[in-house]
């Protein structure tokens, strides 16, 4: 007996959805029947919408800044105007700076915290009332990281921000369960995205050797955006109806021997 995941009739808003994990999630949510709105700062609307058409996804694109309260409000309002409801918020936007406390500029600390943590506060603040009013509840999924569970080197702001995401997720689950809002986080391992390739460049390491090192885990490969996107679909669906306040690790076993 096979189980088909259907999100037919649901609407999902995805931050950082122009590329990488966010874009893969938009496609997978759309293929499961959801209508999707992608929010990103990058001027990649044409390419994103072209992918939607190729994969038969009913989707929209809004250029907005996740660190802006006005843009968060505008994105949620746009989603309701386009589709009449909001069921799923995937807070995926994120950045990394590979620095220690001694080498990290204060401006970069502030930027990492704003994009990785503050954005979840701003987006959720707007989305939760809209979910309750238009859909009777919903699912919020926050992108954390394995480095929010255990620390990594030369990434102090990123590690701090992702640990904050995990505990913020738990706090939100406690606060909003009575409104039928489920809140969970996903902690990907190293995944083949532009951000990971940027890390290699920032550290001055050739991509092939960086990738080989990152693949040193039980399943012997780094992740693909689709791997994480499938977990997003699960957390958005009724198959996870009794799952909230959880951090789902999707990392090929990378953390299995460390926690």
Which residues carry out catalysis?
Answer: 158
Distance CA(171)–CA(93), nearest Å, equals 20
**Tokens coding 231:** 């977990």
Residue keyed to tokens 């694109």: 61
Distance CA(226)–CA(73), nearest Å, equals 29
N-terminal to C-terminal alpha carbon distance within the chain: 35
Closest CA to 164 of 202, 217, 109, 203: 109
**Tokens coding 27:** 């496609």
Beta-strand runs (E) in 56-152: 59-63, 88-91, 138-143
**Tokens coding 137:** 């509840």
For residues 109 and 157, the answer to whether their CB atoms sit within 8 Å is: yes
Length of the chain: 259
CA distances in angstroms from 26 to 174, 219, 234, 241, 255, listed in the order given: 27, 25, 13, 20, 27
**Tokens coding 234:** 């699960």
Which residues touch 75 (CB under 8 Å, ≥6 apart)? 13, 15, 37, 39, 62, 64, 123, 126
């Amino acid at each position: 007996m096979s189980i088909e995941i259907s999100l037919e009739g649901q609407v999902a808003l995805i931050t950082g959805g122009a590329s990488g994990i966010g874009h893969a999630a938009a496609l997978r949510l759309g293929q499961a029947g959801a209508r999707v709105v992608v929010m990103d700062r990058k001027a990649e609307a044409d390419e994103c919408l072209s992918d939607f058409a190729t994969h038969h996804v009913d989707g929209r694109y809004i250029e907005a800044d996740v660190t802006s309260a006005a843009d968060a409000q505008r994105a949620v309002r746009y989603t309701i105007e386009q589709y009449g409801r909001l069921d799923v918020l995937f807070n995926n936007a994120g950045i990394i700076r590979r620095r220690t406390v001694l080498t990290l500029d204060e401006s970069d600390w502030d930027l990492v915290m704003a994009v990785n943590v503050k954005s979840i506060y701003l987006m959720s603040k707007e989305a939760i009332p809209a979910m309750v009013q238009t859909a009777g509840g919903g699912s919020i999924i926050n992108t954390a990281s394995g480095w929010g569970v255990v620390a990594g080197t030369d990434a102090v702001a990123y590690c701090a921000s992702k640990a904050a995401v995990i505990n913020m997720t738990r706090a939100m689950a406690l606060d909003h369960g009575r409104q039928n809002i489920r809140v969970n986080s996903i902690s990907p391992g190293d995944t083949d995205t532009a951000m990971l390739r940027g890390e290699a460049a920032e550290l001055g390491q050739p991509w092939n050797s960086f990738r080989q090192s990152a693949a040193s885990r039980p399943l012997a490969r780094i992740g693909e955006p689709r791997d994480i996107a499938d977990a997003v679909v699960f957390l958005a669906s009724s198959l996870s109806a009794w799952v909230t306040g959880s951090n789902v690790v999707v990392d090929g076993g990378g953390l299995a021997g460390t926690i």
